[in-house]
Amino acid sequence: MPAAAGPSPGADRTLAILLASADHGRAHAAFILATGAAALGRPVVLFATNAGCRALLADPSALEDAGREQRVQAAGVAGIAELRAAAVELRVRLIACDSGLRAEGLQTAPLCPGVEVAGVATFLVAAGRGQIVGL
């Protein structure tokens, strides 16, 4: 009997981040993890669902405690806008949950560049046998 096809190369190294919160601190942490892992050569997928979808909107001021962005930048730390641009450049796969967008009333809100809209099955396939982190 032939062996079943295994996961794609790198599938065990994938970092899959599930962001379900609109809290700026959690969204910022998600992008720090995503860009850090991608910079180290790991495949990364960031899936935002429900309130977490706000982190992938073109206007990040929809996040809770959006004023934290200025405090982070004043401390010399990259803000969410800079981290999102880096994530796209580093080929982090950014997915906004289609049902999460609808649940939050955001289905017509503009998303930042590079974001795809898909469901949880797409996220789980992308995660493969990799590590899943929830924020």
- Cα dist. 22→3, 29, 58, 125 in Å? 44, 12, 14, 24
pLDDT number for residue 47: 98
24-74 tens-digit pLDDT: 999 999 999 999 999 999 999 999 999 999 999 998 788 999 889 999 999
Output the six-digit token pair for 77: 């730390």
State how far the Cα of 20 lies from the Cα of 49, in Å rounded to an integer.
5
Domains in the chain: boundaries: 12-134
Contact 57, 110 (CB under 8 A): yes
* 3-state SS class at 56: helix
Q: How confident is the model at residue 135 (pLDDT cuts 50, 70, 90)?
A: very high
Which of 122, 133, 71, 82 is CA-nearest to residue 99?
122
Longest dimension (CA), the chain: 61
Q: What backbone torsions phi and psi does residue 4 show, to the nearest 5 degrees?
A: -70, 145
The torsion angles phi and psi of 34, rounded to 5 degrees, stand at -60, -50
User: Per CATH, which fold does 12-134 belong to?
Assistant: Hypothetical Protein Ychn; Chain: A, (3.40.1260)
In one-letter notation, the amino acid at residue 133 is V
Q: Find the helix packing angle between 80-89 and 24-39, rounded to 10°.
A: 30
Q: What is the pTM of this model?
A: 0.89
Residue 1 predicted with pLDDT over 60: no
**What spatial distance separates the first Cα and last Cα of the chain, rounded to whole Å?**
42
